[in-house]
Amino acid sequence: MLKSLKRQNHKLSSPAGQIEVLDDAESIDIITFKDKLSDIGLYPLKPTKIDIFQVNVGKMCNQVCAHCHVDAGPDRKEIMTKETMQLCLDAIRETDIETVDLTGGAPEMNPHFRWFVEELSSLGKKVLVRCNLTIILANPKYNDLPDFFKKHEVNVVSSLPYFTAKRTDAQRGDGVFDKSIKALHMLNKVGYGKENTGLKLDLVYNPAGAFLPGDQETLTSQFKRKLLEYDIEFNDLFAITNLPVSRFLEYLVKTEKYEDYMTELVNAFNPTAAEGVMCRNTLSVSWDGHLYDCDFNQMLELEVKAPSHIRDFDIEALTNREIVLNQHCYGCTAGAGSSCGGATT
């Protein structure tokens, strides 16, 4: 079945609300993602096991990045309460969920962030924090974050669009590259990214434009070589495809690249990548406690087909749910695949 891109339920988030942006976009017809999965015997798409509990603790951020799918920024007021955090703790306490992935915005700006990390650590969960690096230098109260992360053996995952100032600043704001290098030095100083410390420091790369990321192994080698010139060490690099959601969707429409980009994603569909999409082992929790199959569905307000709030958490129902799909899902199955942990093949 063909589906017009113009008729998709793609939305653009903004502080003023969600608005349709495709009314002026030229319509093209492509096979629906559901039918694409049906062709390879994967529809309806079901979870394998919930291993990762990804929690968006708020949309407030000290940066306003050009391609942010969360539409995060300093003016966002959506912040997870301590009560909702407690519901998350209660929900996963007796489960086999191994990893809790904290994201935002800048998750560190949530006033209960450190308490939440401490509680998760006490439950024996592996804690992963998506740190934008510059938050460490944004205010003296954040300067000790490297030591805090070390104390709780947090896996730090940090976005660094490129190993040059020009490309990084173009995507994330003036001066971000230099601040990121300083923050990386601070993390390295306490042992992050160093051999035999057990303190994992990973970087995230996503393209600066409407194209797929390059080979993840090649990019990792390039980043390691170039960042050594700044005396920076890290563990792994995750290459992530930009999905047509929020600010990146707006960019595609305004630059009249939406049609070409979606066509590229569809043509690059990889059945092997489809088998390993992150929604099959991940559950996403919004700042207000609603449940989603992934962080991108969360931004599009496509709730799970199961009890959809953390207060009604049902691990059995969630493990057996049918995953909610739409055309943006092509972004996770293109080429080598894409997830919050990088390439999937």
* Beta-carbon-side half-sphere exposure of residue 280 (alpha carbons within 13 Å): 17
Can you give the CATH number for the domain in which 300 is found? 3.20.20.70
Q: Long-range CB contacts (< 8 A, 24+ apart) of 26-31? A: 26/259, 28/4, 28/259, 28/262, 28/263, 29/2, 29/3, 29/4, 29/5, 30/2, 30/3, 30/5, 30/262, 30/263, 30/266, 30/327, 31/1, 31/2, 31/3, 31/266
Residues 255, 244: Cα–Cα separation, whole Å:
13
Q: Which of 60, 85, 62, 14 is nearest to 288 (CA)?
A: 85
Q: Is residue 56 included in any domain, yes or no?
A: yes
Q: Is residue 338 included in any domain, yes or no?
A: no
pLDDT score of 3:
55
How many domains does the chain contain in total? 1
Q: Is residue 343 included in any domain, yes or no?
A: no
Q: Is residue 342 included in any domain, yes or no?
A: no
Q: Is residue 340 included in any domain, yes or no?
A: no
| Amino acid identity at 104 | G
Q: Is residue 341 included in any domain, yes or no?
A: no
Q: Which residue range is the domain that position 214 belongs to?
A: 2-333
Q: Is residue 191 included in any domain, yes or no?
A: yes
Q: Is residue 8 included in any domain, yes or no?
A: yes
Residues 271, 264: Cα–Cα separation, whole Å:
15
pTM of the predicted protein model: 0.92
pLDDT score of 30:
85
CB atoms inside a 10 Å sphere around CB 228: 11
pLDDT score of 208:
84
pLDDT score of 198:
96
pLDDT, tens digit only, all 345 positions of the chain = 655 454 344 444 333 333 344 433 344 578 999 999 999 999 999 999 999 999 999 999 999 988 788 999 999 999 999 999 999 999 999 999 999 999 999 999 999 999 999 999 999 999 999 999 999 999 999 999 999 999 999 999 999 989 999 999 988 889 999 999 999 999 999 999 999 999 999 999 999 889 999 999 999 999 999 999 999 999 999 999 999 999 999 999 999 999 999 999 999 999 999 999 999 999 999 999 999 999 999 999 999 999 999 999 999 999 999 999 999 999 999 999 999 999 999
